[in-house]
Amino acid sequence: MRLVHLLPIAMLAMAACHENGVSVNARPPLGGVRFINAVADGGPVDIRMVDQVEWSASSVSGGAACCGLAFRAGTIHWATEAKPRHIRVFPSDSSITIASQILLDTTITIEANKNVTLMLVGSRAAGGKVSFVTISDNPTPTPTQVAVRLVNASNSTQTPASANGYITATTTSALPATPDFSAVGPLSASPYVMRPPGSFAIQTTAASSTATVWAANAPDGTDATAIGGVTAGAKGPGSGLSAYLFPRSVAGTGAPQSAAFQTPGIVFFVDLIPKPPL
């Protein structure tokens, strides 16, 4: 009896073997895909590539896997097969009736050897629609520099519709005479600025103002003197960072309503991890 059950397994194992060894599937061309939720009037979402299981990005990331991708949250860059990809966005909810609703059904072409952010924008209010804005995440700092940029995740009807950004020592330092990121428009990214490694903050203002309203410290990371070596951050040469300036959440909606979300806010994301030493 036991041989009868084992025989099909043995036959399958033999079928998977060739003269020179076991066959394996070749890795397809890959790009990196990160999802960020910038919808200010809705709760968390589940984002899935539904055309295939293998080499497919999703909104699952770290400890938040149980609860969907919340407003102002983002994933890592997932290794994703480069080709046109069928993507759907669903509400994240314990009710299957709600969770099976499709908020967005679209196809986006992923390019090989490039990282992108697919930023979910728009409105989930009655009559509203959501969509993706594609942002290229491909800084090219030298091994001795850190690349940083400002991304304005607000649309033209939100504050700030256009923003200036300043790289400063702290969140309360005096602003330089000239912004490092000038008039970054709605749903767009500034060019990267290269700077030497070291702690810094970003302060932002409305493009027509010099009054700092939103500021945040960049994550430090570590330099080569750390026990674990260089890690991504302001102190990590070879790093790439984006400071996303999000609008406030819309009052009375499923978006977070705590004090931190009642004003615009900055969240840093890592675009490039330093190369390990050879």
CATH number for position 65: 2.60.40
Quote the pLDDT of residue 9.
42
pLDDT at 172 over 80: yes
- Number of structural domains (the chain) is 2
Rounded to whole angstroms, how far apart are CA atoms 275 and 154? 32
The predicted-structure confidence for 75-84, as pLDDT tens digits, reads as follows: 999 999 999 9
Residue 12 structure tokens: 């399958």
Rounded to whole angstroms, how far apart are CA atoms 267 and 262? 15
Last residue of a domain, one of 138, 168, 196: 138
Across the chain, mean pLDDT equals 90
Question: 127 and 181: one domain?
Answer: no
Question: 229 and 196: one domain?
Answer: yes
Last residue of a domain, one of 89, 117, 138: 138
- Residue ranges making up the domain that contains 53: 27-138
Distances (CA, A) of 35 to 3, 153, 176, 213, 265: 49, 13, 33, 26, 18
The predicted-structure confidence for 235-277, as pLDDT tens digits, reads as follows: 999 999 999 999 999 999 999 999 999 999 999 999 999 987 6
Q: DSSP code of 8?
A: H
Q: Which phi and psi (to 5°) does residue 3 adopt?
A: -65, -35
Q: Virtual CA dihedral for 81, 82, 85, 89, nearest 10 degrees?
A: 70
pLDDT at 12 over 50: no
- Residue 41, number of CB atoms within 10 A of its CB: 18
Question: 59 and 173: one domain?
Answer: no
Quote the pLDDT of residue 191.
97
pTM, two decimal places: 0.89
Last residue of a domain, one of 138, 160, 186: 138
The answer to whether the CB of 50 falls within 8 A of the CB of 105 is no
Distances (CA, A) of 278 to 11, 237, 274: 43, 15, 12
The answer to whether the CB of 266 falls within 8 A of the CB of 244 is yes
Residue 115 structure tokens: 């990282």
Rounded to whole angstroms, how far apart are CA atoms 3 and 68? 46
Residue 1 domain flag: no
Question: 155 and 64: one domain?
Answer: no
Rounded to whole angstroms, how far apart are CA atoms 34 and 220? 21
Residue 4 domain flag: no
Report residue 60's pLDDT band, with 50, 70 and 90 as the boundaries.
confident
Report residue 116's pLDDT band, with 50, 70 and 90 as the boundaries.
very high
Q: Compute the chain's Rg from CA coordinates.
A: 22
Residue 5 domain flag: no
Report residue 152's pLDDT band, with 50, 70 and 90 as the boundaries.
very high
Quote the pLDDT of residue 224.
85
Question: 31 and 155: one domain?
Answer: no
Question: 105 and 160: one domain?
Answer: no
Question: 185 and 127: one domain?
Answer: no
Residue 16 domain flag: no
Q: Virtual CA dihedral for 41, 46, 48, 50, nearest 10 degrees?
A: -100
Q: DSSP code of 73?
A: -
Task: State the burial class of residue 267 (Cβ atoms within 10 Å of its Cβ: 0-12, 13-18, 19+).
Answer: middle
Report residue 234's pLDDT band, with 50, 70 and 90 as the boundaries.
very high
Helix (H, G, I), strand (E, B) or coil at 95: coil
Question: 115 and 199: one domain?
Answer: no
Question: 149 and 260: one domain?
Answer: yes
Q: Which of 31, 33, 25, 61 is nearest to 46 (CA)?
A: 61
Quote the pLDDT of residue 124.
95
Q: Which residue carries 């080709």 as its tokens?
A: 83
Of the listed ranges 8-17, 117-126, 203-212, the one predicted with least confidence:
8-17
Quote the pLDDT of residue 196.
97
Report residue 10's pLDDT band, with 50, 70 and 90 as the boundaries.
very low
